[in-house]
Amino acid sequence: MIRTFSLLFVCALTSLAQLPIGVGIKGGIPFNGSFTDVGRFTSETQRYIVGPMVELRLPAGFAIEGDALYSKVNLSGPLSAVGSVFGSLVDSSSWEFPVLVKKKFGGPNAVAASARPYVGAGASFRSLTGLGSLPSFITNGREVDKNNTGFVVAFGVDIRALVLHISPEIRFTRWGTENFGSGLANIWKTNQNQAQFLIGISF
């Protein structure tokens, strides 16, 4: 009975691996922060990124990948009005939604199929929560844009281990807009060039 169940389980995993859709998780670390510090105001991007991923695997080595990546940013600075320093002005959560078209290289033989380098490009959409709680003495009533849109490129390797796909990659994003516009540029500036190291694990 145990042997039969094990065989059915392996067959089910193998069948799942043959589907054109891969589902898994992606995580990693940023090489730089979300914001550039200006003056005495500082920002700290937490050293982790994590979220679900889905990949539509197409013929000829092409694929379309979509992610929902979460990270956290702490913004802080001096509260000069009372002559003291506060530790955390606001905790901001960052959600990135990149969609990439990927091309995987490698022939049909077993060695090439088990480790296939790839390149990818697409667009990313980021939403920051918590910026609405910035106090009025910081914003002076000016609008803070919580959203960014950017262009993404990625370079990685798709390593197949049994029924799993393990994909370490380097990803670069160029954000096209600033979160803090005119009048706030002397506080924080959006780091429009972002680099990340990510690893995806999917079926």
pLDDT tens readout for residues 44-85 = 777 899 999 999 999 999 999 999 999 988 776 655 444 444
**pLDDT at position 1 over 90:** no
pLDDT of residue 38: 64
Rounded Cα–Cα distance for residues 121 and 114 (Å)? 22
**Domain 23-202, architecture per CATH:** Beta Barrel (2.40)
Q: What is the pLDDT of residues 9-32, one digit of tens each?
A: 444 444 444 559 999 999 999 998
CA dihedral 47, 152, 197, 120 (to 10 degrees): 160
pLDDT of residue 142: 61
pLDDT of residue 145: 79
pLDDT of residue 58: 93
Report percent pLDDT > 90 for the chain: 46
Q: Are 131 and 161 in contact (CB under 8 A)?
A: no
pLDDT of residue 7: 52
Q: Indicate the pLDDT class of residue 5, thresholds 50, 70 and 90.
A: very low
For the chain, give percent helix, strand, coil, nearest 5: 15, 60, 20
pLDDT of residue 185: 46
Q: Are 85 and 79 in contact (CB under 8 A)?
A: yes
Q: Indicate the pLDDT class of residue 187, thresholds 50, 70 and 90.
A: low
Q: Are 153 and 127 in contact (CB under 8 A)?
A: no
Tokens of 190: 């959006």
| Lowest model confidence (mean pLDDT) among 46-50, 90-94, 149-153, 164-168 | 90-94
Sorted by sequence, the CB contacts under 8 Å of residue 18 that are 6+ apart come out as: none
Angle at the Cα of 191 from the Cα atoms of 151 and 94, rounded to 5 degrees: 75
Q: Where are the domains of the chain?
A: 23-202
Q: Indicate the pLDDT class of residue 140, thresholds 50, 70 and 90.
A: low
pLDDT of residue 134: 65
Q: Indicate the pLDDT class of residue 43, thresholds 50, 70 and 90.
A: confident
